[in-house]
Structure 1
Amino acid sequence: MPHFVVYALDKPNREATRLEHRPAHRARLRDHEHIVSVQVGGPLLDVDGRMIGSLLIVEAASAAAVESFMAGDPYQLADVYASVRVHPFNWGLGNPADEGVARG
């Protein structure tokens, strides 16, 4: 199944709303009942270490499936994100599918 990168940036001054909805956001990313499987995820930070967005690497059948998944994200529903971009991703280094593969 293909991989995609989700790059989402927050609207200005949404830190309190982000923190309020963070537990629900994190729980949803860990829920395996979705059509999208989150492989890697974490907050994007500014130079002072404040959360300003999200970066996810997901596995899904299509970009449309990822976009649909993101439309239901608690941050999206709470109007935290200013933008959400989905890009196809060709996983090279660190691909979990390569674990245990002998390298010459």
Structure 2
Amino acid sequence: MAYYVVHALDAPGKADARAENRPAHRARLRTHDHPLTVHIGGPLLDGAGAMCGTMLVVEAGDRAAVERYVAGDPYALAGVYATVSIHEYAWGLGPPEPSPAQTPEPGNG
């Protein structure tokens, strides 16, 4: 298992679609019927405090599982996201404790 950060930015003009799909998006984050664990998640905010994207830290067997999960998200299905980036992440501070294989060498984190 590895950790991944999902960074998704909304397309312009999608505030209504985000609001309409938010309950389903939030419910899906809390279910356990998918092959990954969502550890942290929340909306990204613009300078005025309006939601403009999503950030998640998930744990999954591989990147493909994360890609499938994001593709099935209500926001993705509704065309809310303009861009999505997924990066493997070495957990370095705060819970959960990283495994030795995921702990960066000193000076590399």
TM-score normalised by structure 1 residue count: 0.91
SS in 2 for 1:4: strand
Q: CA RMSD in A?
A: 0.9
The code of the aligned residue for 2:22 comes to R
- After TM superposition, which residue ranges in structure 1, 4 or more long, deviate above 2 angstroms? none
TM-score normalised by structure 2 residue count: 0.87
Structure 1, unmatched stretches of 5+, are 99-104
Which residue in the other structure is 2:62 paired with?
62
What number of residue pairs does the alignment pair up? 98
SS in 2 for 1:96: coil
Where do 1:1-104 residues align within 5 Å? Answer: 1-97=1-97
Identity across aligned pairs (percent)?
56
State the distance in 2 between where 1:85 and 1:34 align: 20
CA contact (8 A) 2:45 2:51 kept: yes
State the distance in 2 between where 1:80 and 1:57 align: 19
